[in-house]
């Protein structure tokens, strides 16, 4: 779990809470995309490019932490 906690911090450094919140709310309000589409777009544009340069050993825990962080934001905002 220590590794996951550290990874949550790393993810938080890559994406700010406010940026994530704005993107989710913008997609929700505009109703141009379903929530699932908005998440896929966010992952492909904001996250995927960021983790590609990380050490391969860190990718899985960071990916898991990213989903944990995203879930927490969704619970709070939607």
pLDDT above 50: residue 69: yes
Is residue 55 scored above 50 in pLDDT? no
pLDDT digits (tens, 9 = 90+) for 5-53: 545 666 666 666 667 766 766 666 565 666 676 666 666 655 444 544 4
| Long-range contact pairs involving 64-68 (C-beta distance under 8 Å, separation at least 24) | 64/4, 64/7, 65/4, 65/7, 65/8, 65/10, 65/11, 66/11, 66/15, 68/4, 68/8
> In terms of pTM, does the model score above 0.85?
no
Please report, for the chain, the start and end positions of each structural domain, with discontinuous segments joined by +.
2-77
Mean pLDDT of 50-69: 57
Does residue 2 or residue 29 have the better pLDDT?
A: 29
């Amino acid at each position: 779990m220590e590794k996951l906690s550290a990874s949550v911090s790393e993810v938080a450094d890559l994406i700010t809470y406010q940026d994530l919140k704005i993107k989710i709310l913008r997609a929700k309000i505009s109703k141009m995309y379903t929530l699932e589409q908005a998440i896929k777009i966010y992952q492909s544009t904001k996250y995927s490019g960021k983790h590609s340069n990380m050490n391969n050993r860190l990718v899985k825990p960071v990916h898991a932490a990213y989903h944990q962080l995203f879930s927490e934001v969704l619970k709070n905002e939607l």
